[in-house]
Structure formats: C-alpha cells, structure tokens
Structure 1
Amino acid sequence: MVLISFLKSMRGGAMVMNINEVMLNPTRMRIIQELAAQPTLTSTQLCQKINDVPRTTMYRYINLLLEHNLLTIVSEKKIRGSIERTLALNINEFQKLNTLENLSQNALGFLLEKYGRFHTYFTRPQPNPGQDRIFLNNTVLMLSDSEFNSFLSDLRDLLIRYQFETAQERKPRDISIISAPVYDMER
C-alpha cells in the first residue's frame, strides 16, 4: 500500500517531509491557525499565544513552515542581539496546494494523519477514550445548499466562540470536520 502522505525520502542526508505531513502536525496547524486569525505575528507573539509548547519546539516548527514556504517573513528587527521576525501566511503557496488536482492526495494525507493518531493512542498502555473524550461520529444531514451554508456559518461561529487562549486547566482538543461526498448506493 502506498502511503503518499507519510512517505519520507532521504535527500543529501536530510529528511524531506511531504507538505501534508508538515501541515497536519497539531502544533504546526495551531501556528497556521493563529496566523490565519491575525495577519502578522512575531515569533515571540506566537510563542506567547501557544505557550503550552516549548519555545525551542515552536522555533523549530516555525522554521520548518518557513522552509516549506507556508510562512513568509514580513519584516525583521534586531532586538538585544537577536533578530525578531514578523511572520505571515504565504497565501500564494496555500492557493497552489488547494487545487482540484491535489484534493484527493490532501484528503488521503488528512485521513492517514488521523488514523496514525488513533493507532498511537489505542496501542499505548491502557487507553481510556471515555475519560479522554475520544470519539468518532458520522452524521448524514438532509440539507438544501442554503441550509448547509447556514449550518457551516453556525459551525464556524461555534468554533470561533471556543477558540480560547492556553491556560493551565485547558488542553488541546483536536476536532476534525469533514464534508464528504454522499453517493446513493442503490444506483
């Protein structure tokens, strides 16, 4: 079986990551989400917003996103001997990745990444999905295009309402939403 999203190749001794693998890491996705919500942020501001992740990890992930051209440096300022970078999403790169030709591969990468997390979770000692609130749900809704647009708007508002800053009692919750094609099996 070919696992497109999780194949890694060695090039010049360095590990090369597939773009799906880069983007679907939960912390890197949080960096992307923060920059989607606010057009520019400094590396320090990102570290403050995502303060449950060690700074060294944050800087490593920011550099990885820069290497893969998903982030761009808007400006640099020298502060006390170090350089503070102001970052933004590289919208042109995201537009190149979000094409009809790439959708099937993007979907596969997304689903394989989720499968990998579930596999890791359920093969660790004593998983407790009830306590950890781990679940799967699938619902088919009968909606007109107008009703579906309203549903998506409500869902977006709900997600925005619960987009809290990190705090001691809070932990990341990975909620994945897919709108998949529905085919009538009787045809």
Structure 2
Amino acid sequence: MATLDLLLHPVRLRILRTLLDGHPATTTQLRERLPDIPPATMYRHVAALATAGVLEVLDEKRIRGAVERTYRVRWDRTELDPAAMTTDDHRRAFTAFVGGLLADFDGYLARDTPNPTADGVTYQQAALWLTDAEMAELLAEVRAAVTARIGRASSPDRTRRMISLVAMPADE
C-alpha cells in the first residue's frame, strides 16, 4: 500500500490523475500531457511511483539506446486505509482531491468555447437517508458502473470525462 506522502506529492498526483482513464502511457506521453513538468522531474517522480509499485511496467522498448517503458497504474496499490489515517491526513487528502477538481474545472473553463450544457457538465448534491448497508450498496453500484467503463478506447465520438464522487454524513 502506498503512503499518503507518496501519493499526495503535487507532481505524482498529477501523473496519477493523468492516468485515471486506465490508458497506459510512456513517460514521453506523460510529458506531452503535462508539458509544464520538466523532463528530469517527470522521470524522477515516475521512477518513485514505479519503485513503490503504484505504476507497473507493461512494455519496454529500446529507442536510440534508451529503454522506453509503458506504465499503467495499479489502483490496488493507491488505496489508503482510511482507518489508519489521522484527521489531518484526511484533511490533506481531501484538500488534494478538491484542488484537483478545481484545476480540472478551471482548465475546462479556460478552453476557447466551453459549453457546459452541451458538454454534459454537472455538479450537484443530494441528501439521502441511508443505512450503512444501503450506503455500502450504493457505493458498490457506483464503483461497478464506473469500473465497467474505465479503459474504453478514445474515439472521435468519445470525450474524456472526469467523474468524481464525495460522500459524507451531513448534519440533519
């Protein structure tokens, strides 16, 4: 299992978020998607994630004397044990999560012609009265629905979309 410090480093978190769609990538492809990260920094953080087992090597090719590796995320190695996390750990993790959401939405709005209605943008909340068992069932259904769609190939009629879910008890 990865540590909070490993996963919440800003560069490593951006690398992982880039790979959320389940598509493997080389470090060169990651650099194309994240051009503001210097090459040496990218290689260092990819290596840290690979050493920790968070990224696994799917393929290796020799290119002009260097080895190019294709990586994918081992999601089972990115899970943190909520019971082992302190209140401050949860605060740090949630802050990183919300920061990623804000960055994604700001990037979307910075496009030439964002059209939230046509693009299917939504942000909403619902208050549900659920037992613990009903909540577990709901989360399992959502997880299954999302997991069934991860890794689909990109195509002209598909748009890469970020799906986020937050659930917490609320005051009555």
What SS class does the counterpart of residue 83 from structure 1 fall into? strand
Paired letter, 1:46 = P
Counterpart of 2:135 in structure 1 is 148
Question: TM-score, length-normalised on structure 1?
Answer: 0.59
Whether the 8 Å CA contact 1:71–1:89 is kept in 2: the answer is no
Residues 160, 93 of structure 1: alpha-carbon distance in 2 compared, 3 angstrom cutoff: closer
Which string of whole-angstrom CA distances, capped at 9 and with x for unpartnered residues, describes residues 76-134 of structure 1? 96636331447565977864998233110111121133223334544666532101111
The equivalent of 1:79 in structure 2 is 62
Give the residue type in structure 1 aligned to 2:122: F
Q: Cα RMSD over matched residues? A: 4.0
The one-character-per-residue Cα deviations of 1:150-180 (angstroms, maximum 9, x if unpaired) are 1111111111222222223212101110112
2:153 maps to 1:175 = no
Q: Provide the rounded CA distance (Å) in 2 between the counterparts of 1:82 and 1:181.
A: 51
Residue 146 of structure 2 aligns with which residue? 159
1:183 to 1:23, Cα distance in 2 relative to 1, 3 A:
farther
CA distance 1:125–1:31, shift in 2 (3 Å): closer
- Work out the number of aligned pairs and report it: 151
- Matched-pair contact (CA < 8 Å) for 1:31–1:46: yes
Take 1:123 and 1:84, find their aligned partners in 2: how far apart are those partners?
Answer: 33
Does residue 45 of structure 2 align to residue 47 of structure 1? Answer: no
2:62–2:68: 8 Å Cα contact kept in structure 1?
yes
Q: Which residue of 2 aligns with 1:63?
A: 43
CA contact (8 A) 1:32 1:89 kept: no
Report Cα offsets for 1:27-64 as digits up to 9, x if no partner: 63242663xxxxxxxxxx8238xxxx946426969636
Long gaps (5+) in structure 2: 1-6
SS in 2 for 1:149: helix
The 1:64–1:174 alpha-carbon spacing in structure 2 relative to 1, beyond 3 Å, is: farther
Cα gap change, 1:78 to 1:32, in 2 (>3 Å): same
Residue in 1 that maps onto 2:103: 116
Decide whether the 8 Å contact of 1:22 with 1:65 is kept in 2: yes
